[in-house]
Structure 1
Amino acid sequence: MFAGLVKLTTLILSNNRICSIEDSAFTHLHSLKYLSLAGNQLTALSKELFQGVKGITHLALGTNRITAITKDMFQNLPNLKYLDLQNNSVIAIEKEFLFHLTTLQFLNLENSINSTNGTFFDQESLYCSELSFYDGSLEGITYSGNILDISWNSKNNRNLSEYNIVDKQVYSNHCSLESLELAGNGISFIKRETLLGLASLTSLNLANNLISTIEDGSFSYLRLLKSLDLSHNQLQRVTKEDLKNLFHLTYLNLLQNSIDSIGNHTFSQTTSLEELILGYNGIDSLENSLFINLSALKELDLSGNKLGLLEKQIFQQLGRLTSLFLQSNSIVTIEDSVFSKLKNLKQLDLSRNRLALIKNESFKGLSYLTRLNLKHNSITYIEDASFSELHELLILNLAQNGLTLITKEMLQGLHSLTELHLNNNSIYSIGSTLFSDLWGLKYLDLTANSIHLLKEYAFSVLRVLEELYMDNNSIKVIPYRAFYELTEVTTL
């Protein structure tokens, strides 16, 4: 069939209706490296099928109807690195089938194994660096690879604890494991001995479970852990004991739990943290020294909580922070100089709060800030020079507030600004000198205000402006020179 294709390295026969293949079909394809038979109707494969194609490194057999994996099925593929068997209907596996695959790095059995007692991998039988395995138990498996993915695992709608994956020490044979994916299961608690034996683990994903309880010290054995994802669970608290010995942790995700408060010393041992996500919990206050040990932190997400006040001391130790997300809280006021120590901050999101006033000390010290989002607050007044220290600011969003008047002094110092969003306010006039400091502005949105008065030369200083939006206002007369020198505008 393929005779003469001696230089062929890639053969893709996926998503057809192939139900059988002659044993000699690939015999002459000595250069073949990649073979995809995915998305067909194959029910069985013989060992003779792969004679003559020993160079294959990638074999895709997913989404077929394969019912059995025999011990000699892949014996003629000594160089195989990637084997995809997902979405089949396997009811029988001969446990020796991997003995010949000494170079295997990735094995995907997701949604394939319909019946197993969880012991079909004998000791020393599995050496691939990544395993995706959805059904069954880990008991009896020796896995010496680096990545183990058993996320979104379900069998007859039962959770993983019924397979003894999280309620006892089942990882003692997995000492080389570096990444463990357990997301999207029915896990409701983590015991202290659950993760024993995983001393090499650097990444642990427990997101999208039902975890409400973590026994003290459950992660204390994971001294090399760098990434821990506990998002979308039911945790009501997180303590110092939960994070004990995690000195190398750089990423911690606690998004969308039910945490309402965090103790002062919770992060005392996570001194390497660079990204901390606490969004969409029920946190209503922050202790002044909560972040005192997090001098390496670069990104902090506190969005979607119940914070009402930001006190001056709270961010004082976060000098390396580059992104701070505080949107969707209940913040009413910003204390003077609360952000003054955040010398490296580039992105600040305060949208969807209850701010009514912006003071000239509110953003003091943020000389490297490039994005400031104040959208959807209740801001009615901005003190003069409130943004005067924001020399690097590129995007300022003041949309959906209660502003009736914008003056030149309010926008003083914004020489680098390229985008200004003032839409959905109640601004009634645009003066001739209003934008005199905004030399670099390219985008200006004044949509849905109450503008009825436009002065001549109102936009003349905006010589690089490309987009100007003024629809849904009350303009009756446009002065003859209102858009004088706007030679770069493409949208008006």
Structure 2
Amino acid sequence: MATSTAVVFMEFIFVRNIYRNYIEFQWESKLQVKSMQAVGKVNVTCLFISAFVKKVSSRQVDCETALTNLWVVLVKHLCLFLVLTAAVADLTQSYQCVVRLPCTCSGTAIDCSSKRITSLSVLIGHPNSTYRMRLDGNPGLVITDDTFANITLEYLDLNHNTGLSMSDHALRSQRDSLKELHLSNCRLREVPQALRDLNALEKLYMWSNHIDNWDETLMLKLSGTLNVLDVSYTGLTSWPRWLSHMSNLVYLNLYENHIDVIPHDAFYSAASAMNYLNIESCGISDMTTAIRSLQNLTTLVVGGKTLSDSSFFYNWLPTRGSKLVTLSINNSNITKIPYGINDSPSLKILTITGSRLRHVEEEAMPKSLMALSIVQASLTHIHGGVCNPALKFLRLAANRIQSIEKHDLQDCRALTYLNLNHNHIDYISPTAFDGLKELKTLRLENNGMIHIPTAINNMTSLRSLYLDGNPVECTCQTLWFLSWRQRNSGVFISGRCTLLGIDLADFHSHCAAIIVG
């Protein structure tokens, strides 16, 4: 009798565990209607088992009866399993995709991108669910007042939909839910009137459209909530007044417009909010004083062929209390490091791409700088003004550097990455890298080096060496390299021995075979 009671008790525990697991499942799915039906059946079964155990414990049935009842319990378990399976099927079915093929769904993410869709049937979303929807890459797409009437969206991507047609109230049902909207590269000539209905929009991307008509009333309506705005490549020909009233803007991209002049009070509303600004290739010939008011700016991108050395006055950057961390100057006509950069105590990353920069003066860089990139310029030597004790990343690719001398990098002792690709380097002093004890990556591709630089001998932290595109002549008399390879077997080496036609990584074994022979 005790054995039968124990078996029945174990069966009871089994049912209880099924009950607990099912409750956890239905809690995670947040769908309780179907689960409560199954839970009711579980409770009935548990009450039956409880009564049965009580009966056996009080010895009101004999062993034969107990075994018979045990089979009854097992049958009920099977029934319970079928009930739970049906409930799970109902739960899964209730999460079916809210749109038809060829679209796909993953949870609340709906993907209809590049499906050649020109129209959508009315979407019906689940109550209390908010969706993210991609409809990009569907030229000629038509969105009516009813398309989104029965679904709640927080994210909508309509990029690359040339010929997009959107009714004036297509987004009315998303009034308080839609937070991010992408309307880039749709060949729009005006801002869609459907945006008037949006009260919660935070991010708006409209790059690569040619907007002839910027509805000032509409844009001012959005200014109360908008904090990210990308209107690059939109054909702006002057500074829009509505932009000066956007007090919550954190991110503003104006790349490739034709603004020419930015007023001194352009950012007075967003002075304390903005931390990213891109005004590259806007036709500006003199840097605006408006930038000085952006004390919380962390990233600034400027550039364009209209910028020269005279475009930068001494205090064009935020100074006192500045939080500027990253500065990029791209595709300009500057020949020297602009004034004011060395007075930016928070600056950590400086990138200068596509310039006529010939040299870097001493004290031109702030002591805080940790990453410096001067690419596609006219540097012929690595000058003393390049290095500082904090610098960890240095990229001087695509210049005209011909050699690396003994003292060129002596003040770059903290470097972990050095990139000198696409120069004219044919000589490296044997002691040029002696101070670079922290350097892990050295890139010297596409230069004019005939010999493997002996300067790598004293680099104790090197992990990657790139010499591709150099006319390196490998000879078996280069014993120092064989010895170095043995001591540094964990270093990744990329490059080829041009005369032997083998990879540098195989140079060791090749020479070993000749020496033994």
Q: Same fold (TM over 0.5)?
A: yes
Does residue 69 of the first structure (1) align with residue 144 of the second (2)?
Answer: yes
Report Cα offsets for 1:332-362 as digits up to 9, x if no partner: 2233x43442x33222112222222322221
SS at match of 1:292: helix
SS at match of 1:334: coil
Contact 1:92 1:115 (C-alpha < 8 Å) held by counterparts: no
Match of 1:140 in 2: none
Rounded to whole Å, the distance in 1 between the matches of 2:382 and 2:281 is: 30
1:208 aligned partner, one-letter code = E
**Compared with structure 1, are the counterparts of its residues 398 and 96 closer, same or farther at alpha carbon in structure 2 (3 Å cutoff)?**
closer
Give how far 1:277 is off. Answer: 0.8
1:126 aligned partner, one-letter code = L
SS at match of 1:302: strand
Does residue 11 of the first structure (1) align with residue 86 of the second (2)?
Answer: no
Contact 2:425 2:449 (C-alpha < 8 Å) held by counterparts: yes
**Compared with structure 1, are the counterparts of its residues 483 and 419 closer, same or farther at alpha carbon in structure 2 (3 Å cutoff)?**
farther
Contact 1:411 1:435 (C-alpha < 8 Å) held by counterparts: no
SS at match of 1:392: coil
Match of 2:361 in 1: 311
1:246 aligned partner, one-letter code = L
Match of 2:371 in 1: 323
**Compared with structure 1, are the counterparts of its residues 451 and 268 closer, same or farther at alpha carbon in structure 2 (3 Å cutoff)?**
farther
Match of 2:456 in 1: 411
Aligned counterparts, 1:163-182, within 5 A: 163-164=213-214, 170-171=219-220, 174-182=223-231
Match of 1:103 in 2: 177
2:505 aligned partner, one-letter code = L
Contact 2:168 2:193 (C-alpha < 8 Å) held by counterparts: no
Does residue 247 of the first structure (1) align with residue 308 of the second (2)?
Answer: no
Contact 1:10 1:33 (C-alpha < 8 Å) held by counterparts: no
Give how far 1:312 is off. Answer: 1.6
Give how far 1:106 is off. Answer: 4.1
Match of 2:336 in 1: 285
Give how far 1:248 is off. Answer: 0.8
Rounded to whole Å, the distance in 2 between the matches of 1:281 and 1:88 is: 33
Give how far 1:384 is off. Answer: 3.3
SS at match of 1:252: strand
**Compared with structure 1, are the counterparts of its residues 217 and 116 closer, same or farther at alpha carbon in structure 2 (3 Å cutoff)?**
closer
Contact 1:11 1:36 (C-alpha < 8 Å) held by counterparts: no
Report Cα offsets for 1:348-390 as digits up to 9, x if no partner: 1122222223222211232221221223323333233111111
Does residue 432 of the first structure (1) align with residue 475 of the second (2)?
Answer: no
Rounded to whole Å, the distance in 1 between the matches of 2:156 and 2:164 is: 15
Report Cα offsets for 1:108-155 as digits up to 9, x if no partner: 566889998955555xx3223xxxxxxxxxxxxxxxx3222232223x
SS at match of 2:433: coil
**Compared with structure 1, are the counterparts of its residues 284 and 148 closer, same or farther at alpha carbon in structure 2 (3 Å cutoff)?**
same
Match of 2:397 in 1: 351
Contact 2:191 2:215 (C-alpha < 8 Å) held by counterparts: no
1:247 aligned partner, one-letter code = Q
Q: For this pair of structures, how many residues does the alignment match? A: 413
Match of 2:209 in 1: 153
Contact 1:225 1:248 (C-alpha < 8 Å) held by counterparts: yes
Aligned counterparts, 1:117-136, within 5 A: 119=193, 125-128=197-200
Rounded to whole Å, the distance in 1 between the matches of 2:511 and 2:170 is: 82
**Compared with structure 1, are the counterparts of its residues 121 and 205 closer, same or farther at alpha carbon in structure 2 (3 Å cutoff)?**
closer
Rounded to whole Å, the distance in 2 between the matches of 1:368 and 1:249 is: 27
Rounded to whole Å, the distance in 1 between the matches of 2:516 and 2:183 is: 64
Give how far 1:251 is off. Answer: 0.7
Does residue 376 of the first structure (1) align with residue 422 of the second (2)?
Answer: yes
**Compared with structure 1, are the counterparts of its residues 119 and 398 closer, same or farther at alpha carbon in structure 2 (3 Å cutoff)?**
closer
**Compared with structure 1, are the counterparts of its residues 481 and 102 closer, same or farther at alpha carbon in structure 2 (3 Å cutoff)?**
same
1:182 aligned partner, one-letter code = V
SS at match of 2:445: coil
2:269 aligned partner, one-letter code = Y
**Compared with structure 1, are the counterparts of its residues 383 and 418 closer, same or farther at alpha carbon in structure 2 (3 Å cutoff)?**
same
Match of 1:138 in 2: none
More helix by share: 2
Contact 1:195 1:221 (C-alpha < 8 Å) held by counterparts: no
Rounded to whole Å, the distance in 1 between the matches of 2:402 and 2:140 is: 63
**Compared with structure 1, are the counterparts of its residues 256 and 14 closer, same or farther at alpha carbon in structure 2 (3 Å cutoff)?**
farther
**Compared with structure 1, are the counterparts of its residues 152 and 40 closer, same or farther at alpha carbon in structure 2 (3 Å cutoff)?**
closer
Residue among 257, 260, 280 paired with 1:231:
280
Contact 2:284 2:306 (C-alpha < 8 Å) held by counterparts: yes
**Compared with structure 1, are the counterparts of its residues 347 and 15 closer, same or farther at alpha carbon in structure 2 (3 Å cutoff)?**
farther
Report Cα offsets for 1:380-407 as digits up to 9, x if no partner: 3323311111111122233333444556
Give how far 1:480 is off. Answer: 3.5
Contact 1:220 1:244 (C-alpha < 8 Å) held by counterparts: no
Rounded to whole Å, the distance in 2 between the matches of 1:117 and 1:451 is: 63
Match of 1:24 in 2: none
Rounded to whole Å, the distance in 1 between the matches of 2:251 and 2:300 is: 10
Normalised to the residue count of structure 2, the TM-score between the two structures is 0.67
Rounded to whole Å, the distance in 2 between the matches of 1:14 and 1:257 is: 50
Contact 2:186 2:209 (C-alpha < 8 Å) held by counterparts: no
Residue among 404, 407, 411 paired with 1:361:
407
Give how far 1:306 is off. Answer: 0.8
Aligned counterparts, 1:212-227, within 5 A: 212-223=260-271, 224-227=273-276
Match of 1:93 in 2: 167
1:254 aligned partner, one-letter code = V
SS at match of 2:340: coil
Gaps of 5+ in 2: 1-86
Rounded to whole Å, the distance in 2 between the matches of 1:398 and 1:92 is: 53
SS at match of 1:433: helix
Rounded to whole Å, the distance in 1 between the matches of 2:415 and 2:439 is: 5
Give how far 1:55 is off. Answer: 4.2
SS at match of 1:219: coil
1:250 aligned partner, one-letter code = T
Contact 1:328 1:353 (C-alpha < 8 Å) held by counterparts: yes
SS at match of 1:468: helix
Tell which structure's C-alpha radius of gyration is larger: 2
Gaps of 5+ in 1: 18-31, 129-144, 155-159, 455-465, 471-476, 485-492
